[in-house]
Structure 1
């Protein structure tokens, strides 16, 4: 009873509805007071009512009976002090719902996904420490010094869950630990990065830094600087950067920065800032560069876009593996994919 009540409240928040809003959506079939009793576990809705609520909240009826445990740790919506609380709740509940289905699928397949943080023992107190942390993670994950072709897929392959959720333009992403320290989770704003894959890659790695680096004791501005530096170092390692720029420079051209951006999937602005951090250009040149970049209107939209792929199909691959190996029925596959059975059959060829 308690879990059904929690799932009902979660589904309502996912839809951004108040109790009265939900009552209105079901044409006041029951009052908001009755809905409140459902959510508090004081009354259990019958099968007919569950069906009505499922339709109104765009979930399957079996959604209310799923019992996969998903407990989020502390979530920081950085730079969003005035972000609407209703929208925060909506994003968090959608993330919980998507992640619970993901975890359930892995449990069905017997996949062990407990994450081990290779940077846990490192002290982060300087930019040199950040460089060492990025080098160590690249080494642990067998990346060498090459470009990362798909950051989201890389994270998923190493048991970092990455979810993409539609939200308003002011939201970039957040990260948190799930079920204690078992599962690292990164949530990204799908609509914001649709045509800005370099920013999507950078944001994902910035959020990874918040998860893996011991920076919680630092003041906010310093913490963000270190996480930015870590993301840049992961995208283009120090030795690679020095080779690409040929050592210390007095000037950089837009054309060479565009070429490096296309190869490594990092913005021109982040490249120039990284060059300054590594002592390859001066602070004064960095300021001059940003002045010119701003005058040309390139701060929000750079003159060349990064073209690549930033998505993981891991969940889909696991889902159809489970279906093909008959670990799950087609009805269960539809439920895990958050679709009605007829819709799932129509969209997917099932032999």
Structure 2
């Protein structure tokens, strides 16, 4: 990452931030953006009825605010902000807004994910892009280097196969990863311009399984904490989302897309030509534990590769899984958390902020003002702990 040239940097930083303390409800009313109300509602996981009850209007009125047919009265805007836990400036038009819908994001568990959860996740992803955009005005992030990516920088003439296995082989070759284990997968993705974020456990998006979106100017992969207790599942989730970004321009929600992403991930992490010669004719758990450490994939995944390669019968696979279930609580089979592996933790956005902080004096407060967020929200998305002491009234 690099700081932008001085001329560009000066132009970008001369734009005034939003003075959240001086903008009045009347000014917000005049510049009210209906889509920001919808975004804030989705982020809060609230219905129109919930908001209506909180500000003393009808659900139909909230619907009219969101469609833009009417605007909330100036005196209602501070109440809206309080109910939705945002500054009043959040509702102002004019800021970059990465709008997503469900066709632009791949959810691992679409059928078991409620509409409210999906909307929360989409709102979270929109904010990740807005934060990325704000940082990219100051810091030159890695260029998007993903063949066929349609949301941002596309490499002409480079197109991967639609077959998931072949696409995985081609991407490994294009990224010059060789034929061995993929080291530091999350860092590899970030170095190719893919924004990777792991929400905190209290973040609303954390309640949804891993998901991704290629519908914005940068591809984004959200790796949720429910798989980060096991670095091997965490890595497979990252490769799965990479598969979606490579293979699926539009999210249909069909199970076939999930299967294809799994096939891509398995081949990307454990190429057949490299792994198959290493597997013994019979499933050997001691060998699989060693291969797990070397290749960064779970024993469960390695057993599945036996099936992919047709090396043993389905009955043998079934018995292997039963045996694995009885071993999972023993040393060697216990999961390692992803937090123990720095190369599997996203750092691009955090490092970009630190670089901008050091070289152009960017602060959390300034960034929050520009985004019209509360400062704590910026810290949350950057993964920066709030070190201020907590006042407790007893």
Task: Give the TM-score band, short-chain normalised.
Answer: 0.7 to 0.9
Within the candidate set 8, 13, 16, 2:37 is matched to 8
How far did 1:162 drift? 2.4
Q: Structure 1: which 5+ runs fail to align?
A: none
CA distance in 1, matches of 2:223, 2:377: 30
TM-score (norm 1): 0.77
Deviation, 1:198, is: 1.5
* Cα offset, 1:220, TM superposition: 5.0
Q: How many angstroms apart in 2 are the aligned matches of 1:11 and 1:115?
A: 32
Secondary structure, in 3 states, of the residue corresponding to 1:232?
helix
- Given that residues 37 and 43 in structure 1 are in contact (C-alpha distance below 8 angstroms), is that contact kept between their aligned partners in structure 2? yes
Larger mean Cα displacement after TM superposition, 2-11 or 310-319: 2-11
Deviation at 1:11, TM superposition (A): 0.4
State the 1:74 CA deviation. 3.1
Matched residue, 2:305: 274
Tell me whether 229-238 or 102-111 shows the greater mean CA deviation: 102-111
1:75 equivalent among 93, 105, 109: 105
Q: Is the 8 A contact 1:115 1:184 kept in 2?
A: no
Separation in structure 1 between the aligned mates of residue 39 and residue 282 of structure 2, nearest angstrom: 54
Once the two structures are superposed, the pairs formed by residues 335-346 of structure 1 within 5 Å of their partners are 335=369, 338-340=373-375
SS at match of 2:196: strand
SS in 1 for 2:281: coil
Q: Alignment partner of 2:229: what SS?
A: coil
- For residues 50 and 67 of structure 1, the distance between their equivalents in structure 2, rounded to whole angstroms, comes to 18
Structure-2-length-normalised TM-score: 0.70
The alpha-carbon deviation at position 327 of structure 1 amounts to 6.2
1:187 aligns to 2:226 (yes or no): no
Partner Cα separation in structure 2 for residue 100 and residue 197 of structure 1 = 28
Q: Distance in 2 between matches of 1:320 and 1:216?
A: 34
CA displacement, residues 99-149 of structure 1 (integer Å, 9 cap, x when unaligned): 222222213435474454169633344xxx71x432322232232234334
In the alignment, the residues of structure 2 paired with residue 250 and residue 61 of structure 1 have an alpha-carbon distance, to the nearest angstrom, of: 65
| Counterpart among 353, 378, 381 of residue 319 in structure 1 | 353
Matches within 5 A, 1:87-106: 87-106=117-136
Q: How many residues align?
A: 334
8 Å contact 1:323–1:333 — kept in the other structure? no
Q: Report deviation, 1:12.
A: 1.1
Q: Decide whether aligned partners of structure 1 residues 220 and 86 sit closer, same or farther in structure 2, where only a CA change above 3 A counts.
A: closer
Choose 109-118 or 254-263, whichever is displaced more.
109-118
Of residues 137, 156, 159, the one that matches 2:171 is: 137
Q: Counterparts of 1:92 and 1:272 in 2: how far apart (Å)?
A: 34
| Structure 2 Cα separation of the partners of residues 3 and 160 of structure 1 | 32
Q: Deviations over 1:133-179 (max 9, x none)?
A: 32322232232234334322321221222233445998422333224
Structure 1 CA distance for aligned equivalents of residues 310 and 206 of structure 2: 34
Residue aligning to 2:239: 205
Distance in 2 (alpha carbons) for counterparts of 1:343 and 1:212: 29
Candidates 212, 215, 222, aligned match of 1:175? 212
Confirm or deny: 8 A CA contact 1:152 1:311 kept in the other structure: yes
* 2:105/2:122 contact within 8 Å kept: no
What stretches of structure 2 of length at least 5 have no aligned partner? 1-29, 150-157, 389-394
**TM-fit CA distance, 1:293:** 3.1
Report the Cα offset of residue 268 of structure 1.
0.8
* Whole-Å separation in 2 of the counterparts to 1:164 and 1:257: 28
Contact 2:120/2:204 (<8 A) preserved: no
Q: 2:139 — aligned with what? A: 109
C-alpha contact (below 8 Å) 2:124/2:205 kept by paired residues = no
